Amino acid sequence: MTAVLEASSLGKRYGRRWALSDCTLSIPEGKVVGLVGPNGAGKTTLLHLGVGLLAPTSGSIEVLGGRPADGPAQLGRVGFVAQDAPTYAGLTVDKHLRLGAYLNPSWDDQVAHHRIEELGLDPSQRAGSLSGGQRAQLALTMAIAKRPELLLLDEPVASLDPLARREFLQTLMEVVAEQGVSVVLSSHLVADLERTCDYLVVLVASRVQLSGEIGGLLASHHRLSGPRRDPGSLPATQDVIEESHTERQTTLLVRTDDAILDPTWTVKPVTLEDLVLAYMGRARDTQPTRRSGLKVLR
Amino acid sequence: MIEFQLDSTSGVATYLQLVQQVHQALQLGLLEPGDQLPTAQQVVGKLAINPNTVLKAYRDLEREGLARARPGQGTFIVGTLPRTDPAAQARFLASMAKWLVSARSAGLGPDDIEAIYRTAFRNCFAEGVA
């Protein structure tokens, strides 16, 4: 399968601070990818590198087999909606579409107008007076109407109310169904990702902690609980992602492709949220510098 | 045409919820051979779920011989499921209620009863589970 986004030892430094370092990642085509991780993990930097708004300090990134922003053709293949879905407050909806048509050789005016009509937006209204949800929809329409092969969306629904969020994701999923576009979507809202994404990437401190088809990931992880025991005594094929112990009981989240045969365990399936939290927690615990404040909680 | 609903708290995979709803609609007679299922676009436009989830559900239904995709037209119901007999349902509901009353009068609480039910249910349907 070809990759829509491939990063190898990718890094970006601002002055002395590395916003992203040594990031290696491969995202297959035709997926709706949920990119999750704590604030400061490098998600936004990664997306900006992917669209070509930033140039790498080190390593390399390829998007749809080309270098990001390497000429008009490459630019036309990638649609991008930045955080908080920025629009031009002083321009009307209609002028946004004319601007889009003027700037994008591959612009599909029919798609653009059809979307605006379906959303019930008034073409003569200024973007500055639209609601947050409408603005996000306008920004998405702009990104869709250029007919990209890949859409990069940076926390597109974070600031929207639940109804606007649902409507935004409905539009997005319709576009995926109609145009077969690949999507990478960063978000903290796991419930939204659960509905819309079929591929997950967990990024913590520039490192990919977990990446794969969500169905497969959920099937290969299990929550085990039983009498207290040392996780070191588990079969070698069971990788312990998260563990907690009381005096008598042990609860583990393990990854394994094999069946769990030990009858002393109660085995339960995991949710996407369990997975995200477990991998984010594990990454945090292996970073001694950030741990100090968290010990108190335990 | 049937309209799918999602229960995000059920813990049941989304595609499976769609499959089960088609099964139920067939059992209740809400769907019959020849009926069209909503297109992936229609479903995702309403539920905001990944289109592949819908396609996966429809593939499952095809495998079961209940639905068939006609290229360029959509997915149609081609099979049937035995209707649930309302009289049988009522009979089992009554015997279950009787059982519950006797369990309560034997001093079992709601948690005990639920644990018994779950164990019996699991044992009964254990075949087919890996």
Q: What is the pLDDT of residues A111-166, one digit of tens each?
A: 999 999 988 999 999 999 999 999 999 999 999 999 999 999 999 998 889 999 99
The shortest CB-CB distance from A173 to any of B6, B11, B49 is to B49
> What was the pLDDT predicted at A287?
62
pTM reported for the whole predicted model: 0.83
Taking only the tens place, the pLDDT of each residue in B63-76 is 999 999 998 889 99
The 10s digit of each residue's pLDDT in A164-186 is: 999 999 999 999 998 889 999 99
For chain B, first and last CA: distance in Å? 35
A291: confidence class by pLDDT, cuts 50, 70, 90: very low
Cα A198 from chain centroid? 11
Residue A269 forms contact with B (CB below 8 Å):
yes
Contact assignment for A195 to B51 by CB distance below 8 Å: no
Burial class (CB in 10 A: 0-12, 13-18, 19+), A226: middle
Task: List the beta strands (DSSP E) in A15-57.
Answer: 17-28, 32-36
Interface test with B, best of A174, A198, A258, A273 (most B CBs within 10 A): A174
Q: Which tens digit of pLDDT belongs to each residue from A186-198?
A: 998 898 898 899 9
Residue A296 pLDDT more than 80?
no
DSSP state of A291: T
Domain topology for A3-204: Rossmann fold (3.40.50)
| Per-domain residue ranges of chain A | 3-204, 218-285
For A191, residues 6+ apart whose C-beta sits below 8 A from its C-beta are A273, B8
- Whether A263 has a pLDDT exceeding 90, the answer reads no
Which residue among A178, A196, A218 places its CB closest to the CB of B50? A196
Contact flag A195-B46 (C-beta cutoff 8 Å): no
